Structure 1
């Protein structure tokens, strides 16, 4: 299972990878992370295909994950599901605007993050 993780903050990327773990659930394959820190690298990776999920950091400077998520959903046919990371729960409306399929707010709760990732990879709806 390949997951793209977009954030310009290495601490955020490390926190997400630690929270999700190597295997999200027993019935899912191990996670292979593709970490990117620039919008151009994210777009190129999504265009290349082979991704099962996008995790986009809405707090990334200049071109945040929410704007990037909307761009990817609008411009790339068959874009994988996207999980938006927001700075606070009140930003959920922005994640909705970005066409994110799920949202997890900071501080990151490992259980909520694992549940959201597992649900999106399985193709199901994310339940709060």
Structure 2
């Protein structure tokens, strides 16, 4: 890890443990140079996600768009409307045709599921760098 690496907290939401594990595995503890170490916060329900983001300290959320009963797209839209300093939001989509729904959800990015371990870290690292650049004085 480089000395200029920015630590980050990434919330991973899915009611399915295997999806949360796949996201953590694909992203790793340091997704790209200058980003990391990453601390993961796992949530299995929409209420857990909202409570965690309300508490603060979350830099990025990866939200399962296929989650049941409340999907990541609905949560994304809710967070964008309700949280003043909303973390960066990534929605996992199973079908490329769902990109328009992710756009409606106001997500900052989408990732296809199953998650690509080459693409996902690049997307997440870019969003985390953007977040760090917006808030340079608020680092742990």
Query: Considering the TM-score relative to the shorter chain, is it more than 0.5?
Result: yes
- State the Cα RMSD in Å: 1.0
Pick the structure with greater CA Rg: 2
Q: TM-score, normalised by structure 2?
A: 0.86
- Among candidates 100, 123, 126, match of residue 130 of structure 2: 123
Paired with 1:58 and 1:52, the residues of 2 have a C-alpha distance of: 19
Q: Any idea what the Cα deviations from partners look like across 1:40-88, whole Å, max 9, x if unmatched?
A: 1100000000111011000101100000110011011110110110011
Matches within 5 A, 1:1-128: 1-123=8-130
Paired with 1:105 and 1:28, the residues of 2 have a C-alpha distance of: 22
Which consecutive residues of structure 2, in runs of 5 or more, have no partner in the other structure? 1-7, 132-140
Q: CA deviation at 1:22?
A: 1.1
Runs of 4+ with deviation above 3 angstroms? none
Paired with 1:42 and 1:69, the residues of 2 have a C-alpha distance of: 10
Select between 24-33 and 52-61 the one with higher mean Cα deviation: 24-33
Structure number with higher strand proportion: 2
Kept in 2: contact 1:3–1:33 (CA 8 A): yes
Q: TM-score, normalised by structure 1?
A: 0.94
